[in-house]
Amino acid sequence: MGGDKDKEEIRKQIEELREKIRYHNYRYYVLNEPEISDAEYDRLFKELEELEAEYPEFITPDSPTQRVGAKPLEEFRTYRHSIPMLSLKSVTDAGEVTEFDERVKRMLGVDTIEYVVEPKIDGLAMELVYKDGVLVAGSTRGDGWTGEDVTQNLRTIKTIPLRTLSEALPLLEVRGEVYMPVSGFRELNEELGRRGERMFANPRNAAAGSVRQLDPRVTASRPLDFFAYGIGRVEGREFSTQWEILNYLRSIGFRVSELVRLFDKIEDVIRYHREVEERRDELDYEIDGIVVKVNRVEYQNRLGTISRSPRWAIAYKFQPREEFTKVKDIVVQVGRTGALTPVAILEPVQIGGVTVSRATLHNEEELKRKDVRIGDTVVVERAGDVIPEVVSVVKSRRTGAEKEFRMPDRCPVCGAEVLKEGPIRRCVGVSCKAQLKERLKHFASTRAMDIEGLGEKLIEQLVDRGMVTDVADLYLLSRMKGELMKLEHMGERSTEKLLDAIERSKQTTFARLIYALGIRHVGEHTALLLAANFRDMDDLRNATYERLVSIPEIGPEVARSIILFFEQGSTKELLRKLEEVGVRYENPEAAEAGAEAEKEKPLAGKIFVFTGRISIPRDEAKRKVEQLGGRVTSSVTKKTDYVVAGEEAGSKLRRAQQLGVKIIGEEEFMAMVKEG
């Protein structure tokens, strides 16, 4: 009996934790008004995970810990909607909206009508089915009658509750839109680009591709969100208005757009349409219009539907952001990090009140995938402050006179060779003017040449005024003290401090200088490896591919990047100038220490990951590990040897527990590195 009583107490404790976590999820993800810190939330979540691991018989599908965990599917099952998910008739001008209002009043025989106005989110329509408050199914709109069952993917979206708050109706079908925030879309595409993977064309395309993943873990890794806007079948409650429905959905844990409004005059609806269109670029989600709905459910039922659309609602669209035009030419633009981007030069076209004459083609892979040629008729899209892009080619309009475009093998700005990295080509020219500001910022950074006072704004001025044309020119600024003092925020004292810092940086280490040069794929750790295996810059410049790849941790891609860097005439010229202006280095990691000495170090080959707060700076902890032959990485994998867990350790600690990686505290770590 005692054991059963104890287990009942545990079950209650688990359910109380779940309720707390659901409540704080609602405060954080839906209301955007958190009441506790991230650390406190992590502690609650960790406590729940540990209890469920110890008592797996109490795990339920609606537990916050069960958002991800289902196995990948082989294919999606179909799902039949109990009430069809209808599409809306679209209108584009105020006259058509007025006609809609007049028609509704005439059919109902009334003089005034209340309308609920909602933003038309550019995402994917979804239906969520809740039984007794628990999410049991989720499906796409499909053809309106039948969609795809994507339940396990929708469970990963944090703004979709696994259990409703406060009230559990026997049946509730919630309808809404899954979308990807614009900020999340940009970050995702940047990450895909870095990995050399195909990027998405727009946030809607990204949301669709993410929801329709057979592996829910992929969906969980994507920044998806959800807005609720209506209901299907309901048991256990009746609603008299759309406004009441939206407020109810918000109260039981769903996110409803902050742009929803209630009006009793169609003139106010039209005015609000203009207001929202002006504000659309301020939003972190794409909208292409507003949805106008008759508020009273009784009126909706009387008006009914026609074909596949309700008579009681319309989509009042914004001005189009897409137009057709011709590609006059394709040129290549070099970015601040050396990335070569193909850009279409267009016959000027008006899109959303702005004249567009250039559009990005992103990268070589996208150029080939879309098969854009000089002379093509194309669809161009412009969205807010996002650079206009070529969406697609109208191939039916081709005449045969169109010309294919090939990406160059040399930088169009400086003539240096181009390194191919997945879909991106990148200039390796060390003095390329397109990359100069970024290279100067890196060269002067604390971990490189450590030039205090050389910040981003000063770099902008030095480059824009032509005072610096490569990093070696920094050491000639002492001859321009008068000009320096005339720059913004540069008085006599700050100028002298800057020049002193530049002078001090002339004495450095070989590893720092290698890192400061900004060789592609050569970070601090690789720079240390190179310094330990090569006597000086001449020795490194003459390194063969075979010698480079023989060094542990230097692979083929890094070796090719180093060789290509030193083959450039601009690199040879820069190194000559740096030596001429007095940059000198010592090499404490010299090759005499050799690979054998490295192997003899007590932490040779060991990989560490830090999580949480420890009493010494992370940089110092990393240095101690590296001095003893170990490595520090940012993520926990099966290859990790130690996870050092400090105060308020987070997800990395949980990952280490899952993988069985050894976890140590700060005290044990300090004992291991006391020799450093």
What are the pLDDT digits (tens) for 408-455?
999 999 999 998 887 889 999 988 988 999 899 999 999 899 999 999
Sorted by sequence, the CB contacts under 8 Å of residue 646 that are 6+ apart come out as 610, 611, 612, 613, 614, 665, 666
Give the integer Cα–Cα distance in Å for 540 and 523. 16
pLDDT above 70: residue 364: yes
Helix (H) or strand (E) holding 619: helix 618-627
Taking each helix axis from N to C end, the angle separating 569-580 and 556-567, rounded to the nearest 10 degrees, works out to: 70
Tell me: the pLDDT tens digits for 551-574? 888 889 899 999 999 999 999 999
In this prediction, residues 570-584 reach a mean pLDDT of 94
* pLDDT tier for residue 127 given thresholds of 50, 70 and 90: very high
Q: Are 399 and 306 in contact (CB under 8 A)?
A: no
pLDDT above 50: residue 591: no
The model carries a pTM of: 0.51
CATH number corresponding to 89-317: 3.30.470.30
Helix (H/G/I), strand (E/B), else coil: 18? helix
In this prediction, residues 572-600 reach a mean pLDDT of 78
Residues of the chain with CATH 2.40.50.140: 322-397
pLDDT above 50: residue 579: yes
Does CATH place domain 433-586 in 1.10.150.20?
yes
Question: Between 39 and 298, where is the model more confident?
Answer: 298
pLDDT above 80: residue 131: yes
CATH number corresponding to 2-66: 1.10.287.610
Q: Are 136 and 148 in contact (CB under 8 A)?
A: no
Give the integer Cα–Cα distance in Å for 177 and 180. 10
Instruction: Tokens for 664, please give them.
Output: 């140590």
Task: Specify the pLDDT at position 65.
Answer: 77
From 105, 120, 158, 317, active-site residue: 120
Superfamily of domain 322-397: Nucleic acid-binding proteins (2.40.50.140)
Give the integer Cα–Cα distance in Å for 486 and 491. 7
Q: Are 260 and 269 in contact (CB under 8 A)?
A: no
Task: Specify the pLDDT at position 595.
Answer: 46
pLDDT above 90: residue 16: no
pLDDT-above-90 percentage for the chain: 50
Give the integer Cα–Cα distance in Å for 373 and 61. 52
DSSP class of 241: B
Question: Between 37 and 23, where is the model more confident?
Answer: 23
Instruction: Tokens for 143, please give them.
Output: 């053809």
Query: To which residue do tokens 């797996």 refer?
Result: 56
Query: To which residue do tokens 């959800």 refer?
Result: 226
Tell me: the pLDDT tens digits for 639-663? 899 999 988 888 888 889 888 999 9
The amino acid at residue 387 is I
Q: Are 60 and 15 in contact (CB under 8 A)?
A: no
Task: Specify the pLDDT at position 63.
Answer: 81
Residues of the chain with CATH 3.30.470.30: 89-317
The chain-wide mean pLDDT, for the chain, equals 87
Helix (H/G/I), strand (E/B), else coil: 269? helix
Task: Specify the pLDDT at position 600.
Answer: 66
CATH architecture of 601-672: 3-Layer(aba) Sandwich (3.40)
Residues of the chain with CATH 3.40.50.10190: 601-672
The amino acid at residue 528 is L
Nearest to residue 378, comparing CAs of 320, 330, 328, 324?
324
Q: How remote is the C-alpha of 197 from its chain's centroid?
A: 14
Residues of the chain with CATH 1.10.150.20: 433-586
pLDDT above 50: residue 1: no
120 catalytic per annotation: yes
Cβ neighbourhood burial of 226 (10 Å; 0-12, 13-18, 19+): buried
